[in-house]
Amino acid sequence: MSINNRELITLLRIVLFILVLLIPLDFALSLIPGKVGNYFEDHIMAIVSGILIFIIFLLRIKYFYFEAEYEIIHLRQRPLMFDYMTLLNSYGYSRYEFPKKLLKDVYVENFLWFKTLVFVVETSTGKLRERTIDVTYLSNRKLDEVLRTMRSIVEQNKLK
């Protein structure tokens, strides 16, 4: 069973694509002589598109993926913007894969509208390490399902 926020990310990528296309379209329409060109001469559409792209960038929206079907837990997150650029490829990218038996605790921290999934994993030397992953843009239903699954794994580990 895998849990992700693919629907939101797909929708936002379409919105970003449209917003990026509106910028050159605005400049192209302003070059047409007559009333059409006069209507677009202030470049309001390009300015609004740029502002909306900047707001989406500031929101730090990330793709989230969780899977715990077999003996290994997979947690991944990728940023919505700058995902495939080589210079910024590591920005916001997290990937955790570990055996279920190493999971010791899990909880969610809230700060304003941001939500962070914190999970404690035992290292090979026996130390406990806290790892975090952003779950702000994961629906509450899906987040509850992730927490329920991870807490059941923690309970199983305590019984062993």
DSSP conformation class of 106: E
Q: pLDDT class for 159, splitting at 50, 70, 90?
A: confident
Average pLDDT over residues 106-114: 91
CB-CB contact of 134 with 78 (8 Å): no
Residue 91 host element (H or E): none
Q: pLDDT class for 86, splitting at 50, 70, 90?
A: very low
Q: Say what the pTM is.
A: 0.79
% residues pLDDT > 90 (the chain): 59
Average pLDDT over residues 77-97: 69
Average pLDDT over residues 74-90: 69
Dihedral angle at the C-alpha atoms of 48, 54, 56, 57, nearest 10 degrees?
170
Q: pLDDT class for 91, splitting at 50, 70, 90?
A: low
C-alpha 138 chain-centroid distance: 8
Q: pLDDT class for 82, splitting at 50, 70, 90?
A: low
Structure tokens at 132: 């975090």
Which amino acid, one-letter code, is at 52?
Answer: L
* pLDDT of res. 92: 64
Maximum CA pair distance of the chain? 78
Please state, rounded to an integer, the average pLDDT across all residues of the chain: 88
Sign of CA dihedral 24, 26, 27, 31: positive
* pLDDT of res. 34: 87
* pLDDT of res. 39: 83
CB-CB contact of 30 with 41 (8 Å): yes
Residue 105 host element (H or E): strand 103-111
Per-position b or e across 30-50, b if 16+ CB within 10 A of its CB? beeeeeeeeebeeeebbeebb
Q: Comparing 159 with 25, which gets the higher pLDDT?
A: 25
* pLDDT of res. 155: 93
Provide the β-strand partners of residue 89: none
Residue 40 host element (H or E): none
> Does position 83 have pLDDT exceeding 70, yes or no?
no
